[in-house]
Amino acid sequence: MKLYFVRHGETLWNTMGIFQGIKNSPLTEFGKEQTRKLKESLKDIKFTHFYSSPLGRALETINILTEDRPQAKIEIIPEFREINMGEVEGIPRKDFEAMYPVEFHNLWNNGKAYDPSNFDGETLESVYKRAGEGLKKITENHSENDVLLIVSHGVTLESIFANITGTSIETFAERNVPKNTSVTVAEYKNGKFEIILFSDTSHLS
């Protein structure tokens, strides 16, 4: 089984440095252009199944990616929604850092210590756990010949890849968050995952 993991295209809030979490922000025109370029680069891949986070920016992305595939049936996978940032969703990163400097630092540098309880957010451990549950659901419901396209989000994709590689949230770091419309390809065979391409954005060059 091959799994193509894609991060959604650039959104308005991405350009403004605003945390999105489970709130939504639409794709920018550039984000739509990024996605169309990705669609072109994937056009010869015979995907058998299509999955998306339930959030609008992911659905907008996968709808563009499948607009030339009339047979595509998009299935929602709730476990692959983005991290819930609670009360800091919709505010600029710099304001979050000023209000909660310890939590801001730990979010990007010390995932185990990240405690979002002061603003009713979701822990990285929770995201890691549900990402693993989503992966299990997929692997149990597909055969080795299936080729899956999955659209999700930065922190959630990082959690998915941590599950795949057997690493823990202590290793989470901002530099590992996949870029907008990047493609990461994983192979699942004989009960084991292997990442064969990580955060590729060659379609944008």
Active site residues: 8, 82
* Beta strands in the chain, from DSSP E residues, in sequence order: 2-7, 49-52, 74-76, 147-152, 183-189, 192-200
Query: 């252009």: which residue's tokens?
Result: 33
Provide φ and ψ at 92, rounded to 5°.
Answer: -65, 150
DSSP 26: P
The continuous run of DSSP H or E covering 102 comes out as helix 101-109
Task: Kindly give the pairing relationship between strand 74-76 and strand 147-152.
Answer: unpaired
Q: What are the counts of helices (DSSP H) followed by strands (DSSP E) for the chain? A: 7, 6
